[in-house]
Amino acid sequence: MLPKQAHAAAPSRNDIDLGSRVYNIRSYGAKGDGVTLDTKALQAAIDACNHDGGGTVLVPAGTFQIGTVELKSNVTLHIAASGKLLGSADGKQYHAVDAIPLSGDTTLIDGNWALLYAVNATNVTVEGPGTIDGQGYQFHSPVRGQKPPSGLGGNSRPYHILAYRCEGLRVRDIDLLDCAYHSIRVIQSKRVHMDGIYIHNRVNGNNDGFHFISAQYVTVNNCVIMCQDDACALFGSCQNVAITNSIFSTRWSVFRFGGGSPRNITVSNCVLMQVYGCPIKFQGNPGSSYENINFSNITLDQVTGPIHVSVGPRQPRANAPRTDDMATAPREESGAPAVLRNVSFSNIQGTVTTDPPQLAEAKVTSGYNPGEKHSCITLTCSGGATMENVSLSNINLTFGGGGTAEDAARRDLPEIAGEYFMMGPMPAYGLYARGVHGLTVENVKFRLASSDLRPAVIFDRVVDASIRGLNVEADSQTESAVRFINSKDVLLTDPRMKGAPQAYLQVEGSGSEKITLDGGDVASANLVKYAASASNGTVKVRA
């Protein structure tokens, strides 16, 4: 007979499922009638879940009105398909999160109020398939200077979700509607994953979608973001970020960079539609640096901008035009001149409009600055900053046209790094580059929907550039299809052109040298014209 085996005592029923329990908020007194305040019930369920080592807090069917609630470590907040968290329209139900500072970091200037927040927490999840509705229009002032209906405005408006110094944050498969401010704001957190989120945020100023500040190891996948302001801001030192397979639409910008030292960032397989405020926007002031950032496989449908990369001194705030973005702009920074290097844009196609309308479904309106209507891809470096190793490849864009001879004649654009429209109507309709060292342009095609008297491409003080397979249109009244100003060491290979401008290439300035034009199909135009002290023979033409 086999000896009896020793058996460990079975765990008590009270301990066997710790860490995996479900905490239904109705069990903690939540009513879910859309009228009763269920803040205390939701907080009690979260506190109990956290105390027991974690688990799932369930928001079942119903509409649960709440104010500020704290999320805690090891808690998954699960909102059922027919469940909704409804942000209270009474501002007294919210409070500032004092643990989140408003100073000490140049990017932390936007407030610390939230519907749901987490501080120094680990392994926090907010998931659907249900809904969070912030009732954000109740925080909008119908008349400037008056309090909104909720009693809260400005930087005291609550975000949907606010996380500070968390690790292991997941938001997934959820609808986030009508926030009073930014929908998701993540500050100095690590291992952040956003997946399957739908954000519709067009009821207030500064209605951002995602707003990341110095976050690391971030992924954004399979999201649809329809907002009023920055759709996916990456401020401060965001590093090791991958964004893919998502759709964005907004009045201002989608991917916006400002301040800090962002690096190792990729954006791919995204649709950017109706973006009336520059889809991709870098603003690098002194003390900031950008490195190893790549955009690929991007579709643009009716945008303005469409790409703006600018490093150098900021325009003084007193002279800067007001935008919806202004409250979220990084403060003036000090330190070494800005640096941007190793940034690429590839496989981008779509349309750039000259007549941006108001966004559909938006409850707030926005004015337009003159420079927004006649924009182009801009790469500008000034004030001792460095911009090097930038590439544009496999880009096919149709621009709205309408640029005038007066626009084309501009040679005195401000030496600043700011919003893409701050320099006014651009003198080129396709690409304007200034102060770049190491620029590659390959297989780029610019087309026009209507007549435009500006050159397609302007290089100003560009050094060490390679242009291969540039394909552009030019009006017969245009001075030139391409203009180089004080640029050197430039190889232009296999160009193609539709139209017959006064010249294909106009070279200006005594600083222009070592320019080579090799082959191509531009026979319908005078090949090279020299002006403004440029030396004859600066361009070497090879058949």
- Strands, DSSP E only, in 420-527? 431-434, 437-448, 457-460, 463-468, 471-473, 482-485, 488-493, 496-498, 505-508, 513-518
Task: Report the C-alpha dihedral over residues 466, 467, 468, 472, rounded to 10 degrees.
Answer: 180
Distance in angstroms (rounded) separating the CA atoms of residues 277 and 279: 7
Q: What pLDDT score was predicted for residue 334?
A: 62
Cβ neighbours of residue 225 closer than 8 Å, sequence gap 6 or more: 197, 198, 199, 201, 209, 210, 231, 232, 246, 247, 248, 249, 250
At residue 322, the pLDDT reads: 43
Phi, psi dihedrals of residue 51, rounded to the nearest 5°? -60, -35
Torsion of CA 472, 477, 482, 485, to 10 degrees: -160
User: Residues 6 or more apart from 174 whose CB is under 8 A from it?
Assistant: 79, 126, 127, 128, 129, 130, 131, 132, 196, 197, 198
pLDDT in tens, the chain (543 residues): 434 444 444 344 567 888 889 999 999 999 999 999 999 999 999 999 999 999 999 999 999 999 999 999 999 999 999 999 999 999 999 999 999 988 655 455 678 999 999 999 999 999 999 999 999 999 999 888 889 999 999 999 999 999 999 999 999 999 999 999 999 999 999 999 999 999 999 999 899 999 999 999 999 999 999 999 999 999 999 999 999 999 999 998 999 998 899 999 999 999 999 998 899 999 998 889 999 999 999 999 999 989 999 999 887 654 444 444 444 444 444 678 999 999 999 999 999 998 888 887 888 877 777 778 888 999 999 989 999 999 999 999 999 999 999 999 999 888 888 788 888 889 999 999 999 999 999 999 999 999 999 999 999 999 999 999 999 999 999 999 999 999 999 999 999 999 999 999 999 999 999 999 998 888 777 899 999 999 998 999 986
The pLDDT of residue 419 is 80
Question: Are 77 and 50 contacting, i.e. CB atoms less than 8 angstroms apart?
Answer: no
Nearest to 74 by CA among 47, 95, 99: 47
pLDDT for the residue 2? 39
Query: How far is it, in rounded angstroms, from Cα 471 to Cα 460?
Result: 20
Token digits for 104?
Answer: 């000490």
Q: Is the peptide bond before 306 cis (omega within 30 degrees of 0)?
A: yes
